[in-house]
Structure 1
């Protein structure tokens, strides 16, 4: 009988996903009481966002040769610890692109049309609804994208199709990419947000980008700006955002990611009609989830078969003395 590799996932996958890969791998997952149950027997790990994957995990998962982060962000994977432990680390950057970009656009549409506020007024039976409804027409509106990677680029395409005027700040992308997307390039973060009616964040989280959206930057934005974040919660200083909302500098905010996650029930963001929160579900469409998971399995099987993951995050591990084989 052919030996199937043991792939451990930090939460139970959907039944249809299990069925799709049962012929190629044995899937295991933990219980609520024991979040690392079964990881010691795993050959590979599909990592979600709920755990920190550091030396303590790798010292328990002694058979693991490869870890694949399901999605783009890998800030919960300590790459140095993976390398020192001899574990290849990779991700699936193309998996969540479409779903996350669509979610960002959904937040932009909801906030620009003030849907949550309008529904609340109806629930209170205030009357005079149209006269109180001051929505933003998106055709011709000015949007700034902070980050023009995979997701930011897809948001750019949709925003352009709507008729929005797109400016983007991303010091790492080529001039050719900006030209292909027909996005106006800004070389200065402060300048990029000054005239924007909407600011949508699509940057990775790092030490350099922690609280990138802070009080100083918010004060440079146009009055009544709409801020949307579908990247990582810690990119925004939430106290600065709250102050901006209180002062009216920020008109509204749409956040799929927060600091912390999930938000406690008494968090002030949840009490506001002009703040729309979703609990880090931007990529969680049926199609997107399946795509991400199957990509992760493909990466792991390639590595376990002696190949190199196509999105290897720590190539230095291949020459490391502790590389697990």
Structure 2
């Protein structure tokens, strides 16, 4: 490969992925701080970098790419890449990659953990036990929502949405889904019911799980009007991207019992601000964006990111390039 090419890794990741890149002849620089590098530091590091291994917190836009003359490839350790300016990268001939597939089932598991925790008041109960508030068994205490025989509404039947829906079958749930692309194959295989509009799903579902990408069209897809359509016993789960759900509207819906509860793995902004009123609600479970956080899955994500970078410079097919047209130009 000639002279060692610099790879800047914006956070500490699985050491196996770092060693893989080093063994492949790269000069790997890792940002060792727990917090992401500042914009100034990121720009400085990119000036002589041939590749970046990034997280969703790192904004890779035209300004950065214009100041990175040697940059050839950026690998995001995530499925989503709303932190990427893909059109600008494509114009500049910079390949961009993500990590689909390897975190699908792990994220679906976490989605279900949130669904069950919010639906059955698990976190509220745990808090009360620790605070000494649990005095006796209460016939009318900690009453949640039954999951079995209920209706699960899935917004976005991509890889993760599909795995969430499949898990619902084990609870004898009716699966109702919306997607811009109808999956008749999944309807025939699993008995899912398709809705051509979001509103029908919101009105009929007892549990609503959000799995759409974050785009201009899906920004605040769920707001005051949408919450008003939902059942009063509805539980909303968002393990996709925080800004898909309007947080102010969510707070009002939960506070006023327009819906029964919510489980969030993502927020707007991230991390959630400590004065955010959502933190004052017992019927809102909030996790720190841990959908993919299992030992095995985070290893696979790091390794796939490294493999994308290595493949590019070895003139081999990148496993998961999001703008493959640059590879043939």
TM-score > 0.5 by shorter chain: yes
1:318 Cα deviation from its structure 2 partner: 4.4
User: Which of 162, 176, 181 is residue 153 of structure 1 equivalent to?
Assistant: 162
Q: Is 2:166 the counterpart of 1:165?
A: no
d(CA) in 1 for partners of 2:55, 2:287? 17
1:86 Cα deviation from its structure 2 partner: 1.9
Q: Which residue of 1 aligns with 2:12?
A: 12
Q: Which residue of 2 aligns with 1:118?
A: 125
Q: Which residue of 2 aligns with 1:276?
A: 285
Q: Is the 8 A contact 1:269 1:275 kept in 2?
A: yes
Offset from partner CA, 1:246-297 (integer Å, 9 cap, x none): 2201211111111111111111111111111112121122111111111111
Moved more, 81-90 or 309-318: 309-318
Q: Is 2:144 the counterpart of 1:135?
A: yes
Q: Which residue of 2 aligns with 1:248?
A: 257
Offset from partner CA, 1:36-56 (integer Å, 9 cap, x none): 453333222222111110122
Moved more, 176-185 or 61-70: 176-185
Q: Is the 8 A contact 2:202 2:208 kept in 1?
A: yes
d(CA) in 2 for partners of 1:117, 1:221? 23
User: Which of 101, 106, 114 is residue 99 of structure 1 equivalent to?
Assistant: 106
1:142 Cα deviation from its structure 2 partner: 1.3
1:79 Cα deviation from its structure 2 partner: 0.9
1:201 Cα deviation from its structure 2 partner: 0.4
* Counterparts of residues 44-59 of structure 1 (less than 5 Å): 44-59=51-66
d(CA) in 1 for partners of 2:95, 2:2? 24
d(CA) in 1 for partners of 2:315, 2:147? 50
Instruction: Specify every segment of 5 or more residues in structure 1 that has no aligned partner in the other structure, as ranges.
Output: 321-325
d(CA) in 1 for partners of 2:123, 2:268? 22
* SS class of match (2:138): helix
Instruction: Specify every segment of 5 or more residues in structure 2 that has no aligned partner in the other structure, as ranges.
Output: none
Q: Which residue of 2 aligns with 1:306?
A: 315
C-alpha spacing 1:173/1:28, structure 2 compared with 1 (3 Å): farther
Q: Is 2:30 the counterpart of 1:29?
A: yes
Moved more, 121-130 or 55-64: 121-130
1:147 Cα deviation from its structure 2 partner: 0.7
Q: Is the 8 A contact 2:17 2:306 kept in 1?
A: no
Offset from partner CA, 1:90-143 (integer Å, 9 cap, x none): 212112212211110110111122112222333242534432121223221211
Moved more, 226-235 or 83-92: 83-92
Q: Is the 8 A contact 1:99 1:285 kept in 2?
A: yes
* Counterparts of residues 179-218 of structure 1 (less than 5 Å): 179-218=188-227
1:17 Cα deviation from its structure 2 partner: 3.8
d(CA) in 1 for partners of 2:42, 2:12? 11
Q: Is the 8 A contact 1:7 1:44 kept in 2?
A: yes
Q: Is 2:235 the counterpart of 1:234?
A: no
Moved more, 102-111 or 164-173: 164-173
Structure 1's consecutive aligned runs of 4 or more residues displaced over 4 angstroms after TM superposition are 1-5
C-alpha spacing 1:5/1:164, structure 2 compared with 1 (3 Å): farther
d(CA) in 2 for partners of 1:139, 1:22? 50
* SS class of match (1:166): strand
Offset from partner CA, 1:133-181 (integer Å, 9 cap, x none): 2122322121101011010111112121232221111121431133223
Give the structure-1-normalised TM-score: 0.91
Q: Is the 8 A contact 2:99 2:304 kept in 1?
A: yes
Q: Which residue of 1 aligns with 2:69?
A: 62
Give the structure-2-normalised TM-score: 0.90
User: Which of 214, 221, 229 is residue 230 of structure 2 equivalent to?
Assistant: 221
